Amino acid sequence: MPIGIDWGGTSIKAAIVDGANLRGFSRVDTDVSAGPAAVLDAIAALVRVLDPRTDAVGVAIPGEVRDDGRCWKLPNVPGFEDVNIGAELQARLNLPVGVDNDAIAAALAERLYGHGGTYKSFLLVTLGTGIGGGIVLDGNVRRGAGGFAGEIGHVLIDSTPEAWPCGCGRRGCMEAYAGTPGLLKRYAEFGRHLPTIKQIADANDAGTEEVWRQLGVALGTGLASINNVLDLDAIVFTGGVANSLPAFEKHIRHALKLRAFAPPLAELPLVASKLGEHAGVIGAAHLPVDRKS
């Protein structure tokens, strides 16, 4: 059975994956300051411990993989620019290795074992510190020319000079308002600092309602433009905040109605992923291993 790896800025999660089921799971912290070789060694060691007889490995990474297998710079992990993670791991493990962006891997899992059973064309939206996405059109996960397809967080939703700055260095991106730092900032404007969205949800006060409004309006405004182009069957939300979708769905819908080119484009189902926190490792295990590396 293949092993799926979901690697982020804080940890490496690995699982033996049987369809949509995990047969073994392991997790270690990522020491990003140690450099690419140490991270790749840690991933290889995790694979050997989990199942030395596995026949294939798939890795979901926090960044984009270009068509030639080299990754683009990883925003939260220094030193990986131009590193061919697939080839590096193949050399360490002597196994076929597939590598792709974590949101694309999660979209693949959703396509195989989640809402993909109901909707042929959908966008998976990952809600967290950043806003990412994976596009499935007519049943196929789309990577685009350079692996950037579905990188939706930096769609412009405010072009005024007062627009909020984004982590990408520009202003007015959807992520600046809908990502965790932007939501925490909005809540703090109500005179009280809370460090997590979970705590803000639990507080359930006027600030919480304003956070849900900002999140929904930002997402709805950006997603309206995206759906004007893609004409999807559904939008699927994942990440911790997706559990609170009923609290901000009405704001997304309202913004969609304001911005959609035609009424049907504002009426698509908005749903939470069925796969939860393991979508990344499940999708990773199913990444194609025959792409160039």
Q: Compare residues 36 and 153 and give the one whose CB is closer to Zn ion.
A: 153
- Binding residues for Zn ion restricted to 41-70, rule: CB under 5 A: none
Q: Compare residues 168 and 258 and give the one whose CB is closer to Zn ion.
A: 168
Those residues with Cβ within 8 angstroms of residue 104's Cβ, 6 or more apart along the chain or in another chain: 60, 134, 141, 143, 147, 149, 150, 283
- Binding residues for Zn ion restricted to 190-229, rule: CB under 5 A: none
Would you give the binding string for Zn ion spanning residues 163-192, x where CB under 5 A is met?
Answer: ---x-x-x--x-------------------
Helical segments of the chain, H only? 36-50, 85-93, 102-113, 174-178, 180-188, 197-203, 206-230, 245-259, 279-285
**From the CB of 191, what's the least distance to Zn ion, in Å?**
28
Largest CA distance in the chain: 57
Q: Compare residues 111 and 186 and give the one whose CB is closer to Zn ion.
A: 186
Q: Compare residues 25 and 164 and give the one whose CB is closer to Zn ion.
A: 164
Those residues with Cβ within 8 angstroms of residue 240's Cβ, 6 or more apart along the chain or in another chain: 127, 128, 197, 198
**From the CB of 47, what's the least distance to Zn ion, in Å?**
34
- Site size toward Zn ion (CB under 5 A) is 5
| 97 in Cβ contact with 289 (< 8 Å) | yes
Integer Cα distance of 105 and 125 in angstroms: 12
Q: In 10 A of CB 185, how many CB atoms?
A: 16
Which two structure tokens, joined as six digits, stand for 145? 């020319």
- Binding residues for Zn ion restricted to 23-42, rule: CB under 5 A: none
Q: Compare residues 170 and 193 and give the one whose CB is closer to Zn ion.
A: 170
Q: Compare residues 77 and 218 and give the one whose CB is closer to Zn ion.
A: 218
Asked if residue 123 binds Zn ion (CB under 5 A), the reply is no
Residue in 111, 154, 251, 278 binding Zn ion, rule: CB under 5 A? 154
**From the CB of 166, what's the least distance to Zn ion, in Å?**
3
The closest of 79, 6, 1 to 282, measured between CA atoms, is 6
The residues binding Zn ion (CB under 5 A) are: 154, 166, 168, 170, 173
